[in-house]
Structure 1
Amino acid sequence: MNKSKEIEKEIIIVKDVDVKVEKRDIEEYCYLIEKIPNTIILNIIEKIEKNVDLICLLLTCKKLYYSIRQLYSSNNSRTLKFKQIRYYDKDYNTNNDVVKSLKCFNLQSFKGIFDNSLSDQIVISDIQDTLPSLNNHLTTKQQQQQSITTNDNNNHINYSVLISLSYDSNKKKNKLNDIIIPTNTKDMFISYVKDEEEEEEDEENYYQEVVPIELFEGLQQLETLSLGYSSIGSDQIEKLPNTIKKLHLGELLLGTSSNGHQVTLPAGLEHLDFMITPPNGKELWGGLGLDKLKSLKTLTMPHFDGSFTTLPTTLTSLDINFESVKPPNQFFESLVHLSTLYIYIHVLDHVLDLTHNHALEKLDIHTGYSVLGMDSFFVKLPLSSSFKELYHRSSSYPLAGFSTQFLPTTLTRLETSVCDLDLSTIQLPRSLVQVTLENCRSIPVGFLPRDGGVLKKLSIHLDGFEGLSKGSIPSSVQDLKLFHYSGPTTPDYIPNSIKRLSWFGNIDTLPQGLECLKWKYPFDSFVYPSSSSSSSSSSSPPPVIRALPPINIPQSLTKLTLELDAILKVEDHLIYSISKLRQQDDTYNILPNSISKLKIKLPYHQLNTPFSFRLDEIINQTNVETLSIYGAGRVWFNATIKRLESDHSSVLLVSNKSLFGGIIKQTKLNQSGSNQYAPIYLHYNKLHESPSWSHNEKIINN
């Protein structure tokens, strides 16, 4: 066998503890089985929230594992499952770690439990590399007939169905015509995927891909329907099941109506979400009859064109974008139940009056540059005690008329830009619990509520690098995010009340009671050493070519998040290590023993090349139990670490919400009298590839 193949191991092929047993193997005494009633054991199992803890419990004893499997299999109404194992989330974003587990599941003894956890999810896909199908055998005519005649257990499952098909401009028929959805489906997402080249050549036909109404026949339990890159005609909309409560219409939204009549949406609709305006927008908006939806609670409308002025009075949440028109006068006045309003305003020539919206609790305003010529009262806030949250998102301009009198005394959360404002003349309400300030030049003492205040969470984005005075930050603050500050960090400036700190830059001292630290240090660019270092022994750790500025991490810290720069480059391969975080007063442990959660962000500009991460340092020289490595908008590795042996010789690394991972058996270095384990490197070679591990600094190409 090729030596490199022996060294290279997929993280998903690591050695598993075999708990598959025969009756002759379970004669050993087990306290849990012998002394505790089965009903109590099952109750304990069902109350375990973390899947990793369930695995560890079942690994404690073969007899326990065997007994639990028997107890669950003996009762058809009870199925042993892991919790929160979802192929996709509520927004239909794919869980890439679940996809990796589907392709190759490591913990074979728990494969049946894993499959049970996905039994209510169906994925129909013809893009198997990135989105493998799941339980798609349930969507065939033969399976449907079998379920009816046998009345099997599948009839008691509420299915969630995701359909993602590649668009073929030369197709003879719609791919959806051959799919039969189980009648007990509760929610469904349909989307077409197309490569960029084909999309440019056939964009018009692509967006006319119509979902056949026959797909929804018999779906009398369907409550959620989401259409992504696909269309459904106005005539078909009227034939959708009336059971639908949540409807998401994507790129094309609706096709043109055949006879121009008003579209009838499902009568019981509670949530309606439009993503973009269709080509026939003005005709369509006016013909939707939104004001007739008596149960509608939430509505999302992009690019409002002013074609109607009446909305359902039942709305409690509205997300609306006035991109090219002005909000009509009294547009919101009739929405007496509205509690949440997201509004995008680009043009405004009158006062936005919200004083009649007495139920409003949260207002989130995005303003464009066209509104800047308004007078100081361009928005009037509700006067009721229910109004709690105000968010104004602007790149560089504050709310007009921002003053002590402008803000309600009931406000608990505030986010706004304070650029060019004289903050020395303003006092924020004492009721505030959370404050975010953008484009802030300085924070004068007294601007933030102090004596008797309840301010707990504070985020400040400074324009300068000083900006704070002694006492600027109240001692009530426990969660602080501070950006672009390089001034003093003594308790007079950063009080010891801080328990969670997000910091960018160098820091001399940390608050004594700190529990969570998110730290990003602005590294200067530098030239990596030559690739000659790749000839060094794989049993030796790579040299640390530079260290972080000296910092004493307090023993109170339990969570640490930081951006980590590569320490070494071997040819075109980057090496990451936490060794430069080693504390000055500790010769072995890299991090304080109190830290159990570690999140590491990798710089975006370094993720376009293959890289490796020293995993053994986390396992052997920290007490970290939860590790997350992320960057460039995705999570590269996420695992709970359970050291199964006191000497760390056997370690379980597995994602709690995907079961991706396995058990690593560590091997000691071939050195006489050495108690050190060989280095373990976690490798990434391609963006969507599963990680692999080896004892080498970089992947060896065969």
Structure 2
Amino acid sequence: MNMLILNDKQKDYINKISAFILLNIINHVTENVDLVCLLLTCKRLFNFSTVNKYHQLSFKPFEFKGPLLSDKCQEPIKFFTIPFLHLGSFSRMYTNAFSDTMILSNKENIKDKEKIAQIQIIKVSPKIDEKSKKLPETIEKIEFHCTNNVDFKIDPSHLGIDKLTSLKILKSYCIEEKMGTIYCSLPTSLTHLSLHLERIPSPTYFKPLINLVHLFLLILGWPNQPDEMYLEIENLVNLKILKIGMIDSVDSSKIHLSPNLLEYTQHSGAIPNRTTEYFPPTLTILDSFFDENDFTNLSLGTRLPHLTSLSIHTDSVLPMDFIPARLKTLRIFSKYGKVIKGRIPDSVEPLYSNTPISLPRNLEEFSFVSDCNQNISPSVEFIYPPTLISIEFGRISNQEIPSVNEFKYIPSKFTTFNKANVYSIVDGEGFILPLSITKITVKIEFDPLNSEFFIFRLDHLINQTNIDQLVIDITRTNFQVDIRRLDPENNNIGCCITEVIGGWPSMKLSNLSSVTSLDVFRPINIGPLSEKFFPINLKELTFYFWTEKYYKPWILYSTTIES
């Protein structure tokens, strides 16, 4: 019985005996012998020695080092993964056993074994149906995409694209044919074609594509081509939309447009020496770069009677008589902010511009939101029409606000209370709201992770304007305050906050004698409720309201006025 009692050292030796056997076998393998039996032995011994371990596998946690999503979560975030065994030695053994193994015949006719190395091993490929190497003939749309760093070009005839009689849409950044190719190897069934080309193979390259309706071309190396290279698409009578982009400028004499175009867009490089006859008279949408010569030589109003949308990209002064009178949509883009001379036609309805403008008389809604990262206000002068109903401003100062019903304001500074700015749409902030404005919307880009918030001065709206509805459009939720003035002196005001609790703040007169006309009453501010929010001079908490839509309550409170 004592023979059956094993100590821990003996048990450990028995558990490791399979490893000792493997090491002994491997150490005695010195020649290129068949290792299949050895591998099977290794596999058998390995499975035998680890069978019990597989029943004890468990998930091992590890800590994730990073910011916690919640202050309430004190425990580190844990992920669980299963351990794995790296069998690198077994992988090398299998590689040595099979990759360099050649099975030799038992016949003795191969006496010179050194010639074995010169025997060519014939690779037998599986039989492939020739039809499987072709694209299906019923395909209607093909897109080729490749990364920016890969110089990958495709000849359409090599893939059989020219045989796809059902193909309607082709978009490619890599199709290329040899210079001098008279006609493209693309199917005539195409209606939409988008190509990026280094150069145009020949002037008649696109001539067979008589069914094209939409053509987009980005030509990267056109200026380096010979003088006889042209883009001739005047025979494409079905072409309605043409968008063309070039790296450098190309003379207009090298481009012959389709006679029935409805939309023409030119990106990047300029096209100098254009005349009025350059544009087809059927155009309804025109988007192009124009310079001083174009403003002098082109007469869009007489040449393009159907034009309804015009986008002008220019670095020159834009005269308004260049714009057709029947235009509906106008977009103006000026890199250097050149002044527009004259008056925009009254037929314009949507208007987009980054330059100083005079607004059309029939305009009803106007938005001007400048770059929020600018530290100064843009110098812009507007002439507002009497039909304007709603206006939206961003960072802008000392502007004359027109007679509108609704005004939208976007504050641009957010900070903690100690450095907070109290926003008021009054003269001190550069705004004087006319009495015709009854609604104001304040849009706040709120970032609670950085403890940023804003404070809004409500008593200025009550006393200095006719605002009866204040909408605070803040990230993730809206607050709407309906103001009801109960007496001419505004001593009693009713405020109803949509979906939250209302209140009756009291407009108390200030005891200070040095107050300005705007500060006759003790200030009433609206802002988020926070431990860091309450100012030192807080005297009276008028009322507060809470909403489940936002993670913090907001309050209305009253403070004394600093002398």
Whether the 8 Å contact between 2:196 and 2:217 is mirrored in structure 1 is yes
The residue number in structure 1 matching 2:500 is 665
- CA offset at residue 335 of structure 1? 2.3
Q: Work out the CA distance in 2 between the residues paired with 1:297 and 1:263.
A: 21
> How many equivalent residue pairs?
364
- List aligned pairs for 1:247-326, cutoff 5 A: 263-265=133-135, 268-276=138-146, 281-282=152-153, 287-306=158-177, 309-322=184-197, 324-326=198-200
| Contact 1:669 1:678 survives alignment (8 Å) | no
Residue in structure 1 matching 2:253, options 374, 377, 395: 377
| C-alpha distance after superposition, 1:236-284 (max 9, x if no partner) | xxxxxxxxxxxxxxxxxxxxxx999874445544333333259583468
Deviation at 1:494, TM superposition (A): 3.3
Aligned residue in 1 for 2:11: none
Q: Secondary structure at the match of 1:475?
A: coil
Distance 1:433 1:691, change over 3 A: farther
Task: Choose the corresponding residue for 2:452, options 579, 601, 611.
Answer: 611
Cα separation, 1, equivalents of 2:271 and 2:84: 53
SS class of match (2:341)? coil
Following the alignment from structure 1 to structure 2, what is the Cα–Cα distance between the partners of residues 644 and 570?
26
Distance in 2 (CA, whole Å) between partners of 1:317 and 1:333 is 15
Contact kept, 8 Å, 2:416 with 2:451, in 1: the verdict is no
Instruction: Decide which of 232, 235, 238 is 1:356's aligned counterpart.
Output: 235
Aligned equivalent of 1:565: 412
What is aligned with 2:404?
Answer: 555
AA matched with 1:315? L
**Paired residues of 1:339 and 1:361 also in contact (CA < 8 A):** yes
Change (3 A) 1:366 1:466: closer
The answer for the alignment partner of 1:344 in structure 2 is 218
Give, as a single letter, the amino acid of the residue that structure 1 aligns with 2:554.
H
1:437 match: secondary structure: strand
Asked if 2 retains the 8 angstrom alpha-carbon contact of 1:298 and 1:316, the reply is yes
The one of 418, 441, 445 aligned to 2:290: 418
Deviation at 1:393, TM superposition (A): 1.5
Q: Which residue identity is paired with 2:361? A: N
1:296 maps to amino acid:
L
| CA distance 1:274–1:431, shift in 2 (3 Å) | same
* DSSP-derived class of the 1:612 partner: coil
| Residue 592, structure 1, aligned to residue 437, structure 2 | yes
> Residue 278 of structure 2 is aligned with which of 406, 412, 415?
406
Change beyond 3 A, Cα 1:610–1:406: farther
Higher gyration radius (CA) = 2
CA contact (8 A) 1:626 1:640 kept: yes
User: Secondary structure, in 3 states, of the residue corresponding to 2:243?
Assistant: strand
TM-score, length of structure 2 as denominator length: 0.52
Q: Deviations over 1:638-681 (max 9, x none)?
A: 76888999977563xxxxxxxxxxxx524648989999896348
- Is residue 566–residue 576 contact of structure 1 (8 Å, CA) maintained in 2? no
- CA-to-aligned-CA distance 1:4-54 (integer Å, 9 cap, x gap): xxxxxxxxxxxxxxxxxxxxxxxxxxxxxxxxxxxxxxxxxxxxxxxxxxx
Q: Counterparts of 1:280-679 in structure 2 under 5 Å?
A: 281-282=152-153, 287-306=158-177, 309-322=184-197, 324-326=198-200, 328-348=202-222, 349=225, 350-369=229-248, 372=249, 374-384=250-260, 387-394=261-268, 397-428=269-300, 429-450=304-325, 454-462=326-334, 467-471=339-343, 473-485=344-356, 493-503=358-368, 505=378, 506-515=380-389, 517=391, 519-521=393-395, 548-555=397-404, 564-566=411-413, 568=415, 570=417, 579=425, 584-585=432-433, 592-593=437-438, 600=443, 611-612=452-453, 623=469, 637=475, 649=496, 651=498, 664-666=499-501, 668=503, 679=527
Cα gap change, 1:675 to 1:502, in 2 (>3 Å): closer
Aligned to 1:132: none
Letter in 2 for 1:494: L
State the distance in 2 between where 1:286 and 1:336 align.
Answer: 19
Tell me by how many angstroms 1:455 deviates: 0.1
- Aligned ranges 1:77-156 → 2 under 5 Å: none
CA distance in 2, matches of 1:667, 1:557: 23
Give SS of 1:679's match: strand
Which amino acid is the alignment partner of residue 273 of structure 1?
E
> Secondary structure, in 3 states, of the residue corresponding to 1:333?
coil
Q: Check whether the contact 1:499–1:514 (CA below 8 A) recurs between aligned residues.
A: yes
Q: Distance in 1 between matches of 2:84 and 2:256?
A: 55
Q: Secondary structure at the match of 1:461?
A: strand
What is the TM-score with the length of structure 1 in the denominator? Answer: 0.42
Q: State the SS of the aligned residue for 1:398.
A: coil
CA 1:563 to 1:583, structure 2 compared with 1: closer, same or farther past 3 Å? closer
Q: How does 1:161-240 map to 2 (within 5 A)?
A: none
| Inter-CA distance 346–665: structure 2 relative to 1 (3 Å threshold) | same
Aligned residue for 1:695? 554
Q: Which residue of 2 aligns with 1:252?
A: none
- Residue identity opposite 1:366 in structure 2: G
Check the 8 A contact 1:666/1:677 in 2, yes or no. no
Is the 2:457–2:523 contact (alpha carbons within 8 Å) kept by the matching residues of 1? no
Q: CA RMSD in A?
A: 5.0
Where do 5+ consecutive residues of structure 1 fail to align?
A: 1-128, 130-167, 173-257, 523-547, 630-636, 652-663, 683-689, 698-702
Question: CA shift at 1:352, angstroms?
Answer: 1.1
Q: Is the 8 A contact 1:669 1:676 kept in 2?
A: no
- 1:694 deviates by 3.6
* 1:175-212 residue CA offsets vs partner (Å, 9 max, x unmatched): xxxxxxxxxxxxxxxxxxxxxxxxxxxxxxxxxxxxxx
**How far off its partner does 1:496 sit?**
1.0
Name the aligned partner's letter for residue 355 of structure 1.
Answer: E
With over 3 angstroms needed to count, the CA separation of the structure-2 counterparts of 1:608 and 1:290, relative to structure 1, is farther
- Judged with a 3 Å threshold, the aligned counterparts in structure 2 of structure 1 residues 375 and 286 are, in CA distance, closer, same or farther, namely same
Q: Is the 8 A contact 2:362 2:385 kept in 1?
A: yes
Q: Percent identity?
A: 18
SS of residue paired to 1:424: helix
**1:3-82 matches, cutoff 5 A:** none
User: Residue type of the partner of 2:145?
Assistant: M
Query: What is the DSSP-based 3-state SS (H/G/I as helix, E as strand, rest coil) of the residue aligned with 2:194?
Result: strand
Q: Structure 1 residues 691, 612: closer, same or farther in 2, change over 3 A?
A: farther
Which deviations, in whole Å up to 9, do the C-alpha atoms of 1:439-469 show, x marking residues without a partner? 242223531123xxx2011122345656333
3-state DSSP class of the match of 2:278? coil
Q: Displacement of 1:417 after TM fit?
A: 1.3
**1:521–1:352: structure 2 CA closer, same or farther, 3 Å change rule?**
farther
